[in-house]
Amino acid sequence: MREPEFVTVVREKTVVSDGVVGLVLGHAEGTPLPSWRPGAHIDLVLGDGLVRQYSLCGDPADPSAYRLGVLREPDGRGGSSYVHDSLSTGDRILVRGPRNHFELEDAPSYLFVAGGIGITPLLPMIAEVDAGGARWRLLYGGRTRRSMAFLDVLDRYGDRVLVRPQDGHGLLDLRGFLEEATRDTLVYGCGPEPLLTALEDACGARAREMLRVERFTPREAIHDDRDGMFEVVLAQSGLTLTVGPGQTVLECVEAAGIPVLSSCQEGTCGTCETDVLEGTPDHRDSLLTEDERADGTTMMICVSRCLGERLVLDL
Amino acid sequence: MTSGTTTSSGPGPSVPVLDDDPFSRSFLADPYPRHERMREAGPVIRLSHYGIWASARHEQVFAALTDWRAFSSASGVGLADFRKEKPWRVPSLLLEADPPDHTRVREVMTEVLSSRRVRGLREEFAAAAEALVGDLVERGTFDAVRDLAEVFPLRVFPDALGLPEQGRENLMPYGGMAFNGFGPRNDLFHEAMADAARIQEWINEACRRENLAAGGLGQDIWAFADTGRITPEQAAMLVRSLLSAGIDTTVYAIGNALAALAAHPGQWARVHENPALAKLAFEEAIRFESPVQTFFRTTTRTVDLGGVRIGPGEKILLFLGAANRDPRKWINPHTLDVTRRTAGHVGFGTGIHGCVGQQVARLEGDVVLTALARRAATLTPTAAPEPRPNNTLRGFSSAPIRVEKAAVRSR
């Protein structure tokens, strides 16, 4: 059985800080939303193959609404700018999930570290931990105070929350903050990659037992790092070609004078599907099923690339 | 009939206004000179006969097809505006829907028609093509439409779907209803709908789970109803989509490809010489003589298309067949060239509503043309192809040809 998938309606859209909008989604049919636990996220299916993950930051006990905080990412492929610029109250959005890779585990004390929009999954955790009476503290960093979302929500927790915008305080003092950790403290961190790496370093040898993190890495950011060169051998034609960064396998094959059929050139129609004889494709199409991807015996050469250094294609 | 071009004035640059009726029999019988006039008049034009917008240029047609947020399908992809008129049938969940509703069912259909599934059909389809084409080539003369294009898809696709044997003669008339149904309520529409109630009843019965054979694409769709990804009502509607979109389109495509190749002996000689070109030839024929000529969209907001401002809620007619012959996009667009790079043609549409069954269509075209390429050295028309008018589809009711049998050669 697949995970839940349902249409929601945007009930509210508000600016919660510089560059962050808050969304409140309700079930389109007015029925209760699937339940979730702190740390969970959902997929917003925005069309054109655009799927974005956002943490739920509202109250798990309220089945009538999902609350999200969405940061505008200027370098993104358009998911966040669509939410910021086009989405409005009353619009319908397909949602998948919720799922949770960042479960809140039981502990007598917690330390939370948030960087920027990484605050979102921590909000419901903090609410639950606080209600349960455990000891906890939050260290919350951001570029500027104005850019930091949900400060009003955190207000009621008083001095358990350390708000440390970078323009006034510099980098977060993680080591100083972690000095409060006792033997059975759990540390939950969410934010940009450099912060999480620094947090792992600061936890040192104890990172494995005490640290729980969630990474916000958009899929295309990973892809960009992997857009390197690789070699393509065309078995039937006996040609060896080099696919450069920013060039597709299809372009390279066509430039070598081999006629291949292609159509959409964005991995959605399946026309350029080509058999892979050797090597591991880096699948970037929207068509192959999980099984077919894992199989690696065919690929859409208009968008997909190579996970190693060499592919042998049946061309 | 004389047709005039005027321009409308108003805010922004003036927009050419043409008084052609793109659904008249004369237009449909000979569209290309009229396409050219529309294309050259401007990137976006007004068609005064219906009070609609239109584009016949590749750049604008492509842009509108890929921008589903501004150019909606949910108000119908024909002339009728579903917000104002009752559609003649329950709207398609795929064709006449926008995200998010469209997304879920489209994903299901993408899985049903996955490349693995379509690859699995090849052996059976190829065998059927070899048998049918083998008999026809032995005959020497045959009708490329009546004896081949109309026969082959009806021989393989209903079986692949798992349809009941009884009543398959309703499939072509149903496709005729669906595709004439996108036009105005003209005589073509009324002729197609003459027996509508009886045909729709057969179609609805055929889509029911208990009437579909095990192992077919129809049951594959129904299996998704068990997982909860679609409802049983949606499953039946999606089977209907395969019935309306999967038969006539391929009949027209194969017929058009054969007629075009018969009219271009030099091109057929290349395909005969190298049957691996068959699939490229089929693709080029879809560009050259596009089976699906037009679809409408409806603007959701004020949009700028080709420098023309169009207000919200406006119908715009996209001429796919004309975009596929736009000289701004194609070199020698009115020439059939089987080795042309056809990427970017909009014969299957493009964007989120791009034909979900296009790999099945390509498979059918490939196996038929490959079988013929191996056996026929030449194709010669023995009479001019007879156009078959339809409000949306372009094709022929008859295209008699003579074939010269190839000398036996090893494969």
A263 CA: distance to closest CA in chain B (Å): 4
Q: In this complex, do A292 and B116 lie within 8 Å of one another by their Cβ atoms?
A: yes
Q: In this complex, do A45 and B100 lie within 8 Å of one another by their Cβ atoms?
A: yes
CA separation for the pair A60, A57 (Å, rounded): 9
B352 CA: distance to closest CA in chain A (Å): 6
Indicate the range of A271-275, B135-139, B250-254 predicted with least confidence.
A271-275
CA separation for the pair B329, A149 (Å, rounded): 48
Q: In this complex, do A47 and B103 lie within 8 Å of one another by their Cβ atoms?
A: yes
Question: Chain B contact for A45, CB < 8 A?
Answer: yes
Closest CB from B227, B279, B352 relative to A1? B227
Contacts of B48 (CB under 8 A, 6+ apart): B17, B18, B19
Compute the average pLDDT of residues A180-186: 93
CB B342 within 8 A of CB B281: no
CA A267, chain centre distance (Å):
21
pLDDT of residue A224 exceeding 60, the answer is: no
pTM of the model: 0.81
The strands making up B52-55's β-sheet, listed across from edge to edge, are B5-8, B15-18, B45-47, B52-55, B315-319, B294-299, B71-72
CA separation for the pair A281, A226 (Å, rounded): 12
Tell me what pLDDT residue B359 has: 94
Give chain B positions within 8 Å (CB) of A297. none
Give chain A positions within 8 Å (CB) of B348. 263, 269
Q: In this complex, do B280 and A259 lie within 8 Å of one another by their Cβ atoms?
A: yes
- Model confidence at B116, in pLDDT bands (50, 70, 90)? confident
Residues A260, A265, A268, A269, CA torsion sign: negative
Q: In this complex, do B350 and A288 lie within 8 Å of one another by their Cβ atoms?
A: no
Chain B residues with a Cβ under 8 Å from any Cβ in chain A: 68-69, 99-101, 103-104, 110-111, 114-116, 227-229, 277, 279-280, 283, 339, 341-345, 348, 350-352, 354, 358-359, 362
A92 CA: distance to closest CA in chain B (Å): 7
Compute the average pLDDT of residues A173-183: 94
Contacts of B154 (CB under 8 A, 6+ apart): B168, B171, B172, B247, B251
Q: In this complex, do A7 and B101 lie within 8 Å of one another by their Cβ atoms?
A: yes
pLDDT of residue A2 exceeding 70, the answer is: no
Compute the average pLDDT of residues A128-141: 96
pLDDT of residue A222 exceeding 60, the answer is: no
CA separation for the pair B386, A75 (Å, rounded): 55
Torsion, CA B305, CA B23, CA B52, CA B16, rounded to 10: 60
Which residue, chain included where needed, has tokens 């047609």?
A: B61
Give chain A positions within 8 Å (CB) of B275. none
DSSP string, B163-188: --STTGGGHHHHHHHHHHTTS-SSHH
Beta-carbon contacts below 8 Å between A and B: 78
CA separation for the pair A310, A243 (Å, rounded): 10
Tell me what pLDDT residue A1 has: 45
> What is the residue type of A58?
G
In which element (H, E) is residue B378 found?
strand B376-381
- Of the candidates A272, A66, B10, A294, the one whose C-alpha atom is nearest the C-alpha of residue A283 is A294
pLDDT of residue B3 exceeding 70, the answer is: no
- What value of ipTM does the predicted structure carry? 0.73
B344 CA: distance to closest CA in chain A (Å): 6
Q: In this complex, do B279 and A292 lie within 8 Å of one another by their Cβ atoms?
A: no
- Of the candidates B204, B154, B394, the one whose C-alpha atom is nearest the C-alpha of residue B287 is B394
Tell me what pLDDT residue A221 has: 35
Kindly identify which residue of chain B lies nearest to residue A45, measuring between CA atoms: B100
Question: What integer best gives the mean pLDDT of chain B?
Answer: 94
Tell me what pLDDT residue B8 has: 56
CB A11 within 8 A of CB A89: yes
Compute the average pLDDT of residues B82-98: 94
B350 CA: distance to closest CA in chain A (Å): 7
B309 CA: distance to closest CA in chain A (Å): 19
A205 CA: distance to closest CA in chain B (Å): 45
Give chain A positions within 8 Å (CB) of B100. 7, 45, 47, 92-94
Torsion, CA B188, CA B352, CA B297, CA B178, rounded to 10: 20
> What is the residue type of A188?
Y
Give chain A positions within 8 Å (CB) of B279. 261
Which of helix, strand or coil describes residue B314?
Answer: coil
pLDDT of residue A223 exceeding 50, the answer is: no
Give chain B positions within 8 Å (CB) of A255. none
pLDDT of residue A226 exceeding 60, the answer is: no
Bridge partners (DSSP) of residue B73 are: none
- Model confidence at A228, in pLDDT bands (50, 70, 90)? confident
Q: pLDDT tens, B265-313?
A: 999 999 999 999 999 999 999 999 999 999 999 999 999 999 999 999 9
pLDDT of residue B52 exceeding 80, the answer is: yes
Alpha helices (runs of H) in chain A, residue ranges in sequence order: 79-85, 119-132, 151-154, 166-169, 174-178, 193-203, 207-210, 219-225, 249-255, 290-295
Which of helix, strand or coil describes residue B69?
Answer: coil
Tell me what pLDDT residue B234 has: 96
Q: pLDDT tens, A197-208?
A: 999 999 998 988
The DSSP bridge pattern shows strands B52-55 and B315-319 to be parallel
pLDDT of residue A49 exceeding 90, the answer is: no
